[in-house]
């Protein structure tokens, strides 16, 4: 997954969604260089009349001046409005037809390869053509717009929580409170947006798009998508007047990115934009003869010494999923054993002594088990990456959901341990 805050080229002027003059539809980026955000507390011990500034520096004006405040965004924009703490609206938030139970029923993690943006919205024909592109396995579309919040522009998308949940990092997808809040009509945020806007869970804020809506802030978490600041559900999206199907995510594992991008651009036309999200997992360089002292070092050293070219993050993800890094060594219901959960028959073929150990390879010994897993994956072509890596992980555990979960967690390791 890309680091939040990657940059993209500018778009032409987009659709107006507010009563003031339309803002330009700009390139993908977070607002890292704009003046600091402000927050007016809405209730509790914080005084609603006191302006709290996140860091030292200039505060945002009541109405944004595009020349100063409009950092590159990626959605059709509107101007005017602000975000402040406010008393709860009568009747509560806008609950989505998707209830919390449905929102919690995600079955897999889907790794997005491309983020697409169509300033005027994707039409049915374009969506159908995109889905027919060879290699496209999953695709999702969502509403969005660039609105103002806290005197600054923010990118807001309107999603179905039950389906969008599969497209975010595993840790976020597993955060039930996050998705329950979104389903119940709260807005949620990326971690950078929460910090920048000084958002407080439980406070109410005015979000200004085509209309002004007072919405409660739920939670923040890592979204893994460039330039996305806030999420709302479809009911709140409709009230804000976000542009319908303005953007989407495409997953096409194993397909050449250059070929995929070219075909997607041909469907979107000259006004559409494409951001590549598929990233390269890091490969470790560890001095030979090094005996690891932790699981993290063990994964890095095993990949470097027993399968050069394989990302250590894949071993780390498998180790966490299979045994929580040796916490549960089995046997499993199928009879698998050890930190990497080898079946006895597989271990008999692939088990080796690692890092200077002698004697019969021990499936319960991580110094043998992790190098053996690297050896097995390497024999299946994992070091080649791309589709070969996908197939190698599939051979390790024959399920597409398992491959997606391993790759998603590997991407998380890559983000957290650079």
- For 373-382, how does the pLDDT look when each residue is reduced to its tens digit (9 = 90+)? 999 999 999 9
Residue 214 included in any domain: yes
Is there a single domain that holds both residue 349 and residue 270?
A: no
Measured in whole angstroms, the distance separating CA 247 from the mean position of its chain's CA atoms is 15
- pLDDT tens-digit readout, 18-44: 222 122 222 332 222 222 222 222 222
The pLDDT of residue 15 is above 50: no
Is there a single domain that holds both residue 170 and residue 60?
A: yes
DSSP per-residue codes, 259-285: HHHHHHHHHH-TT-EEEE---PPP---
Is the pTM higher than 0.75?
Answer: no
Is there a single domain that holds both residue 202 and residue 247?
A: yes
Q: End-to-end CA distance of the chain, in Å?
A: 13
Phi-psi region of 163 (alpha: psi -120 to 50; beta: other; left: phi over 0): alpha
Give yes or no for a contact between 370 and 299, defined as CB atoms under 8 angstroms apart. Answer: yes
Final residue of a structural domain among 215, 241, 276: 276
Is there a single domain that holds both residue 51 and residue 108?
A: yes
What's the pLDDT at 76?
Answer: 62
In angstroms, the CA 180 to CA 103 distance is 7
Is there a single domain that holds both residue 259 and residue 334?
A: no
Residue 231 included in any domain: yes
Is there a single domain that holds both residue 160 and residue 207?
A: yes
* 291: DSSP letter: P
Residue 287 included in any domain: no
Residue 300 included in any domain: yes
Is there a single domain that holds both residue 192 and residue 99?
A: yes
Is there a single domain that holds both residue 315 and residue 225?
A: no
Supply the range of the domain harboring residue 407. Answer: 295-416
In angstroms, the CA 258 to CA 288 distance is 36
State the CATH number of the domain containing residue 406: 1.10.530.10
Q: Report phi then psi at 188, rounded to 5.
A: -125, 170
In angstroms, the CA 291 to CA 366 distance is 12
What's the pLDDT at 172?
Answer: 87
What's the pLDDT at 252?
Answer: 86
What's the pLDDT at 61?
Answer: 29
Residue 24 included in any domain: no
Domains: count for the chain: 2
Lowest average pLDDT, out of 43-57, 183-197, 345-359, goes to 43-57
Cis peptide before 323 (omega within 30 of 0): no
- pLDDT tens-digit readout, 279-290: 778 788 777 777
Residue 132 included in any domain: yes
What's the pLDDT at 350?
Answer: 93
Is there a single domain that holds both residue 301 and residue 268?
A: no
Is there a single domain that holds both residue 271 and residue 308?
A: no
In angstroms, the CA 71 to CA 92 distance is 32
Is there a single domain that holds both residue 361 and residue 271?
A: no
Residue 11 included in any domain: no
Is there a single domain that holds both residue 261 and residue 354?
A: no
Final residue of a structural domain among 276, 306, 339: 276
Pairing mode, if any, of strands 152-159 and 230-233? parallel
Higher-confidence residue of 234 and 153: namely: 234
């Amino acid at each position: 997954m890309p680091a939040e805050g990657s940059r993209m080229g500018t778009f032409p002027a987009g659709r107006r969604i507010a009563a003031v003059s339309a803002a330009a539809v700009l390139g993908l980026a977070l607002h890292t260089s704009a003046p600091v955000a402000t927050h007016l507390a809405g209730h509790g011990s914080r005084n609603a009349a006191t302006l709290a500034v996140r860091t030292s520096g200039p505060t945002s004006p009541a109405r944004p001046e595009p020349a100063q405040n409009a950092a590159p965004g990626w959605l059709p924009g509107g101007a005017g409005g602000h975000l402040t703490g406010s008393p709860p609206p009568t009747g509560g938030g806008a609950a989505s037809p998707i209830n919390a139970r449905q929102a919690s029923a995600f079955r897999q993690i889907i790794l997005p390869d491309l983020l697409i943006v169509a300033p005027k919205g994707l039409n049915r024909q374009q969506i159908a053509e995109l889905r027919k592109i060879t290699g496209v396995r999953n695709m999702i579309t969502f509403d969005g717009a660039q609105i103002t919040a806290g005197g600054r522009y923010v990118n807001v998308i309107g999603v179905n929580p039950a389906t969008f949940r599969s497209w975010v990092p595993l840790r976020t997808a597993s955060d039930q409170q996050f998705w329950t809040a979104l389903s119940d009509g709260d807005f949620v945020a990326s971690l950078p947006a929460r910090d920048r806007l000084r958002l407080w869970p439980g406070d109410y804020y005015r979000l200004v798009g085509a209309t002004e809506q007072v919405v409660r802030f739920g939670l923040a978490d890592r979204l893994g998508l460039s330039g996305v600041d806030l999420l709302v559900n479809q009911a709140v999206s409709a009230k804000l007047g976000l542009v319908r199907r303005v953007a989407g995510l495409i997953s096409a594992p194993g397909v050449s990115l250059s070929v995929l991008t070219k075909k997607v651009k041909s469907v979107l036309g000259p006004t559409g934009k494409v951001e590549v999200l598929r990233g390269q997992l890091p490969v470790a360089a560890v001095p030979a003869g090094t005996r690891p002292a932790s699981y993290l070092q063990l994964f890095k050293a095993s990949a470097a010494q027993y399968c050069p070219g394989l990302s250590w993050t894949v071993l780390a993800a498998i180790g966490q999923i299979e045994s929580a890094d040796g916490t549960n060594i089995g046997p499993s219901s199928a009879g698998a054993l050890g930190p990497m959960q080898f079946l006895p028959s597989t271990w008999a073929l692939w088990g080796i002594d690692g890092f200077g150990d002698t004697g019969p390879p021990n499936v319960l010994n991580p110094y043998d088990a992790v190098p053996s897993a690297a050896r097995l994956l390497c024999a299946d072509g994992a070091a080649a990456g791309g589709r070969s890596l996908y197939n190698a992980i599939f051979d390790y555990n024959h399920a597409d959901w398992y491959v997606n979960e391993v790759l998603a967690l590997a991407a998380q390791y890559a983000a957290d341990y650079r």
